């Protein structure tokens, strides 16, 4: 048969016992006297060979026999090829189903173990394995996280170091590895040799799970039969590993964002216990700086992953992370509001209906998804058509609306309705229920005069309502009826926002009859200007000097800029930035404010001294307080508070460099 496979021509062996091409072992262990063999060919491709033997002395094959077998071989080759094509099509269909299911799982679940379990089950089925597992990287080791198909108790938590065994080699060499005899691996650790014996593992294959250019884990599939894995199996696992990498990055980013919220909540609880606004201010500054740096990294990595993701479901999940991170930054800013009464910049013309829609969208996980998980429904209605624009700060008004939405949701534990309505009114607030407020001193440019008309927004819920005693104290800092679950800061922050807007706020409520907040805003003098939208393709490539001593923030911002075709020079300190400015021409300097030894101030001054027309953008994690202080310095063209969305960063680059 080997001769036929090599020559691809059929042959008849009339005397098998004396033929020089007969296999010696076959001749020794069989009674074959004559043999007829034909190749199985499909379009000149060899699929196999087929043979017929005689064991009766004196019997042989004729040319007619050979013609019949050749015809049969031709039909058999077509049948085999069709079967193989069908098998390949079926395998690809199953693979597509598994990949689609995994893509849905990635967005449907933010529990890492749940997603990894689905990946291991899919890998086991697609590669026809008996057992599959995923091990995640921890420093220079792999720790097994999930198993599928195990007979004995699971070995979750077992650890292998880099270079040890199959997984350790994959971690060290960063490439897929296959073996037909797993138990014979000379580098296998004693623990895993015991596992291999207990589970009767024979063949194994493993591929690296790559995330952000590094190996984040390894995906394994094993068989208990001596049937080796193929290149096709390896390719399937690589595609599954790509899905696992997205899931791991997605979940870890979400967990980081959740941890940021946890840290913030812990800080708030500590501040509530102290009941000292001065202490709150001191802590808020440090917390805001650290959290803004953390949120800057999370936001940047989420936007990077969103750029690279191919599945729409994954992109939607990452967009949720981007939105949640922006919300986290707003929480940090609200915390700082209690530390100081400061100017937040000029008031602009705002579309109140748009601001309400944005606040509802941002808080949707709370009033819809979370409520549905608890088996209740909260219905919303917006009746704000025809309202004139108001005078305000969009970010602050969204903060106030977010606080009111959360307060309404908490007041409706069994579900209910949340209604937004508006009107233009002339009358002043009613006695006893309204808190008329003047413009804060920081923002007052001229004597305060009450306008002849107000734009009123009412936010009504059908919740449990409030007693008169609670209603009178509802805007007091730290006053809460929610026990440990509340901070008493939300409605007080809303009051502060209305104060800075020179508006009015009123609350009407009764036990069992729901609550209505009425917010009155000054009408705007002109319509809101159109927002600036800059697409990545609209920003030409520039050379940017990026300065930040926080490696995570710097590397994330650099990756975002490079993804938008910008040339980035990274400096990990102010001193390094000064060296770059002396030796290299750049189009823009993007520098952090707070750095040891050489600060962002000094970098900006040096840049302007060397080239007065060089645009300098200052990044700060200290919030709007730093913006007010820095804006008075002529050495800085723009101040951005971390975290900075990619779109904002590109818009500033286009504006500053394009104007030179």
Give the residue with greater pLDDT, 224 vs 325. Answer: 224
pLDDT at 123 over 70: yes
Cis peptide before 643 (omega within 30 of 0): yes
pLDDT at 261 over 70: yes
CA distance 648 to 640: 9
Cβ neighbours of 650 (radius 10 Å): 19
pLDDT at 559 over 70: yes
For residue 186, name the pLDDT band (cuts at 50, 70, 90). Answer: confident
CA torsion through residues 119, 121, 126, 131, sign: positive
CA distance 74 to 230: 27
Report CA dihedral (8, 9, 12, 15) to the nearest 10 degrees.
-60
**Which of 315-319, 374-378, 494-498, 573-577 is the least confident region?**
315-319
Ranges for all domains in the chain classified under CATH 3.40.50.2300: 536-658
Per-residue pLDDT, 122: 84
pLDDT per residue as tens digits for the range 71-100 = 998 898 888 888 877 776 676 777 667 666
CA distance 376 to 451: 42
Paired with 160 in beta bridges are 142
3-state SS, one letter per residue, for 53-98: EECCCCCCCCHHHHHHHHHHHHHHHHHHHHHHHHHHHHHHHHHHHH
User: In the CATH scheme, what is the code of domain 348-521?
Assistant: 3.30.565.10
Structure tokens at 510: 């009764």
- Per DSSP bridges, beta strands 378-383 and 416-425 are parallel
Strands (E), 251-373: 348-350
pLDDT at 654 over 80: yes
CA distance 257 to 254: 5
The average confidence (pLDDT) of the chain is: 80
pLDDT at 27 over 90: no
3-state SS, one letter per residue, for 495-507: HHHHHHCCCEEEE
pLDDT per residue as tens digits for the range 195-233 = 888 888 899 999 999 988 889 999 999 999 989 999 988
CA distance 23 to 42: 26
Ranges for all domains in the chain classified under CATH 3.30.565.10: 348-521
pLDDT at 338 over 60: no
pLDDT at 493 over 60: yes
pLDDT per residue as tens digits for the range 419-470 = 999 999 875 544 333 344 433 333 333 333 456 789 999 999 999 999 888 8
Domain 536-658: homologous superfamily in CATH: Response regulator (3.40.50.2300)
According to CATH, the topology of domain 2-85 is Beta-Lactamase (3.30.450)
User: In the CATH scheme, what is the code of domain 109-248?
Assistant: 3.30.450.40
């Amino acid at each position: 048969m080997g001769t036929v496979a090599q020559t691809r021509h059929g042959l008849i062996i009339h005397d098998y016992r004396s033929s020089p091409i007969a296999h010696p072992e076959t001749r020794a262990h069989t009674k074959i006297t004559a043999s007829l063999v034909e190749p199985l060919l499909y379009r000149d491709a060899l699929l196999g060979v087929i043979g017929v033997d005689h064991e009766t002395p004196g019997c042989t094959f004729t040319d007619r026999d050979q013609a019949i077998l050749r015809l049969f071989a031709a039909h058999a080759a077509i049948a085999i090829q069709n079967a193989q094509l069908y098998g390949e099509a079926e395998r690809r269909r199953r693979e597509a189903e598994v990949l689609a299911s995994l893509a849905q799982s990635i967005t449907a679940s933010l529990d890492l173990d749940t997603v990894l379990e689905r990946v291991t089950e899919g890998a086991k089925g697609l590669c026809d394995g008996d057992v599959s597992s995923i091990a995640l990287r921890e420093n220079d080791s792999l720790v097994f996280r999930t198993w599928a198909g195990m007979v004995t108790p699971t070995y979750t938590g077992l650890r292998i170091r880099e270079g040890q065994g199959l997984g350790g080699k994959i971690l060290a060499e960063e490439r897929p590895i296959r073996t037909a005899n797993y138990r014979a691996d000379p580098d296998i650790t004693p623990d895993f040799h015991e596992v291999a014996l207990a589970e009767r593992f024979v063949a194994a294959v493993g591929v690296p799970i790559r995330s952000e250019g590094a190996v984040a884990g390894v995906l394994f599939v094993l068989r208990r039969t001596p049937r080796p894995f193929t290149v096709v199996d390896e390719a399937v696992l690589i595609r599954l590993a790509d899905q696992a990498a997205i899931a791991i990055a997605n979940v870890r980013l979400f967990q980081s964002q959740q941890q940021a919220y946890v840290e913030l909540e812990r800080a708030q609880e500590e501040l509530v216990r102290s009941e000292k606004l001065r202490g709150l201010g001191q802590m808020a500054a440090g917390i805001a700086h650290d959290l803004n740096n953390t949120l800057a990294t999370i936001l940047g990595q989420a936007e990077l992953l969103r750029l690279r993701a191919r599945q729409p479901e994954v992109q939607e999940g990452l967009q949720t992370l981007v939105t949640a991170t922006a919300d986290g930054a707003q929480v940090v800013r609200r915390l700082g509001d209690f530390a100081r009464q400061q100017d937040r910049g000029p008031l602009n013309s705002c579309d109140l209906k748009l601001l309400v829609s944005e606040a509802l969208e941002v808080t949707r996980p709370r009033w819809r998804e979370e409520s549905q998980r608890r088996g209740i429904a909260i219905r919303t209605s917006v009746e704000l058509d025809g309202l004139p624009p108001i005078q305000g700060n969009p970010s602050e008004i969204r903060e106030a609306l977010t606080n009111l939405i959360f307060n309404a949701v908490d007041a409706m534990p069994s579900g209910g309705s949340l209604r937004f309505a508006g009107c233009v009114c002339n009358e002043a607030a009613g006695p006893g229920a309204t808190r008329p407020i003047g413009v804060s001193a920081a923002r007052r440019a001229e004597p305060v005069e009450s306008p002849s008309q107000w734009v009123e927004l009412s936010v009504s819920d059908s919740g449990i309502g409030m007693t008169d005693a609670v209603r009178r104290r509802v805007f007091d800092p730290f006053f809460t009826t929610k026990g440990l679950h509340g901070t008493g800061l939300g409605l007080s922050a809303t009051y502060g926002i209305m104060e800075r807007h020179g508006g009015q706020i009123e609350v009407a409520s009764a036990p069992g009859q729901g609550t209505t907040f009425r917010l009155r805003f000054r009408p705007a003098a002109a319509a809101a200007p159109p927002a600036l939208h800059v697409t990545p393709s609209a920003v030409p490539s520039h050379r940017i000097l990026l300065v930040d001593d926080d490696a995570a923030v710097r590397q994330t911002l650099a990756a975002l800029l490079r993804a938008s075709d910008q040339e980035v020079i990274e400096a990990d300190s102010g001193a390094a930035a000064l060296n770059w400015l002396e030796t290299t021409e750049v189009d823009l300097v993007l520098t952090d404010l707070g750095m040891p030894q050489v600060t962002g101030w000094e970098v900006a001054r040096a840049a302007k001294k060397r080239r007065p027309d060089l645009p300098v953008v200052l990044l700060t994690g200290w919030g709007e307080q730093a913006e007010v202080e820095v804006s008075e310095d002529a050495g800085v063209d723009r101040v951005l508070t971390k975290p900075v969305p990619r779109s904002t960063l590109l818009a500033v680059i286009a504006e500053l460099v394009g104007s030179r």
